[in-house]
Amino acid sequence: MADLLLGQVLSFSADPFEAGPEAARIDEAVLVEAGRIVATGSRDALTRAHPQAQVTDYGTSVISAGFVDAHVHYPQTAIIASWGKRLIDWLNSYTFPEEMRFADPAYAQAVANRYLDLTRAHGTTSVCSYATIHPASVDALMGAAQARGQRIWTGKTCMDRNAPEGLRDTAQSAHDDSAALLAKWHGVDRLSYVITPRFSPTSTPEQLEAMGALWATNPSCLMQTHLSEQTDEIAWVKDLFPDARDYLDTYERFGLLGKGGLYGHAIHLEPREKDRLREVDGSLIHCPTSNTFIGSGLFDMAGLKSAGHRVGLATDTGGGSSFSMLRTMAAAYEVSQLRGHALHPAQLWWLATQGSARSLHADHQIGNIAPGLEADLVVIDLASTPAIAQASARADTLWQALFPTIMMGDDRAVQAVWIGGKRAA
């Protein structure tokens, strides 16, 4: 049975950073069948053409591709919004103690389900997540997502130094555990494995080399790590890798720089690093709520996008202070304003959907509403609170109506979520 959803159906024909707001298109209806988008168009035409379809009328609500969160740490769900630390202190005070609890598969399973419940409530249908060093932490999130029919990416976090004993593996065990998890999960249903060295300070050169070898053997996988998040982190990397040209070189020399590489934060980049990332078409993942919450810095969205970089958007739970991609869009707007550039609502929405999907090399599958794509959808109420309702009521255009929800919206704005063509919330 096909489903016909009526509302303001928002899609993109191009990147609005390049083509402007005109890259967006509004239709009146979207037809979904067998987990995929079949057609978009006018409600009258699609109703006449598909009289047997089950009709759901969302009125003036916006129907969009579900949000895609390109960099998260689901094991940090419980420590989100913990007070007052910079990166290295945050890891030692909050992250590492919490991640040690994931040695218990039951605890990992409980958090995985809670995390996917929380993100679905905020309209997020796909995530790319770090797990912990424990293989059971990967199994937990993969299994929870598989049961829900979600398209996700995750991988065992690899660390063999500068972490507590209970969170250290070895170069060999990291390789072997990752390879086994990859063989178990990668390409099963809507699941993908991501090779995941946490970042250079917590991996020896031997482990980074092992991860590079694993990626070379499995080029269909993505690889995720962190890059140039804070200035004291960069100084630490220089001490640990005195022969490296820069932070990026600590990955490049071990085969961890390339297309399909996801480089979280990427705030304080040197000119050589920018050039090399653009040359290899690596993905830069902007985590604005995290960057402000732990005082990392201001990502150069306008400069990097104008230079041709592939950029995604992410909450970075739990250094990021919200599970919501609406809040993340608002923070991205604020950060860009501090750099002297106002992002258009079309650019913000594209970043949270097709842009993030593109950063994960999955825009042929998710992140937009177009025939053939998987039917992951979010329905946004443009009057979810009195404050938002009075602001959107004054609007003359869709973007004026949507922008108050970007800036002030939360899970109350999420009217419905569809995952794989089925109503999920």
pLDDT tens track for 197-210 = 999 999 999 999 99
Paired tokens of 313: 């958007």
Residues 126 and 236 in one domain: yes
**pLDDT confidence band for 415 (50 / 70 / 90):** very high
Among 81, 181, 86, 172, CA closest to 132: 181
- pLDDT score at 82: 85
Residues 267 and 350 in one domain: yes
Among 140, 157, 131, CA closest to 211: 157
Contact 226, 266 (CB under 8 A): no
Q: What is the CATH number of the domain that holds 236?
A: 3.20.20.140
Residues 77 and 50 in one domain: no
Residues 165 and 310 in one domain: yes
Cα 284 from chain centre? 11
Say yes or no to pLDDT of 87 above 80. no
- pLDDT score at 91: 82
Condensed to tens digits (0 to 9), the pLDDT of residues 117-131 reads 999 999 999 999 999
Please state, in angstroms and rounded to a whole number, the distance separating the CA atoms of residues 134 and 117: 22
Among 73, 69, 74, CA closest to 111: 74
**Among candidate residues 326, 359, 392, the one where a domain is terminated:** 359
Condensed to tens digits (0 to 9), the pLDDT of residues 138-171 reads 999 999 999 999 999 999 999 999 999 999 999 9
Paired tokens of 326: 């609406």
Please state, in angstroms and rounded to a whole number, the distance separating the CA atoms of residues 417 and 169: 38
Backbone angles phi, psi at 311, to 5 degrees: -130, 135
Helices marked H in 218-269: 231-240, 249-252
Report pTM: 0.98
Contact 100, 167 (CB under 8 A): yes
Residues 142 and 283 in one domain: yes
Among 379, 360, 361, CA closest to 369: 379
Residues 192 and 323 in one domain: yes
Structural domain that includes position 110? 67-359
Residues 320 and 373 in one domain: no
Condensed to tens digits (0 to 9), the pLDDT of residues 39-65 reads 999 999 999 999 999 999 999 999 999
The angle formed by the CA atoms of residues 110, 111 and 116, to the nearest 5 degrees, is 105
Q: Find where tokens 């990626």 sit.
A: 215
**pLDDT confidence band for 114 (50 / 70 / 90):** very high
- pLDDT score at 84: 74
- pLDDT score at 86: 75
The angle formed by the CA atoms of residues 389, 394 and 398, to the nearest 5 degrees, is 85
**Among candidate residues 341, 359, 377, the one where a domain is terminated:** 359
**Among candidate residues 359, 375, 403, the one where a domain is terminated:** 359
Condensed to tens digits (0 to 9), the pLDDT of residues 205-237 reads 999 999 999 999 999 999 999 999 999 999 999
Residues 175 and 209 in one domain: yes
Q: What is the CATH number of the domain that holds 49?
A: 2.30.40.10
Residues 109 and 55 in one domain: no
Among 250, 238, 146, CA closest to 208: 250
- pLDDT score at 55: 98
**Domains contained in the chain, number:** 2
User: What value does the mean pLDDT take over residues 251-271?
Assistant: 98
Paired tokens of 1: 């049975």
- Three-class SS string for 76-112? HHHHCCCCCCCHHHHHHHHHHHHHHHHHCHHHHHHHH
> 314: buried, middle or exposed (CB in 10 Å: 19+, 13-18, 0-12)?
buried
Residues 234 and 291 in one domain: yes
Residues 173 and 213 in one domain: yes
Say yes or no to pLDDT of 366 above 90. yes
Sign of CA dihedral 271, 350, 131, 409: positive
Please state, in angstroms and rounded to a whole number, the distance separating the CA atoms of residues 286 and 29: 32
Residues 302 and 315 in one domain: yes
Backbone angles phi, psi at 343, to 5 degrees: -75, 135
Paired tokens of 191: 């699941």
Cα 332 from chain centre? 14
Condensed to tens digits (0 to 9), the pLDDT of residues 339-361 reads 999 999 999 999 999 999 999 99
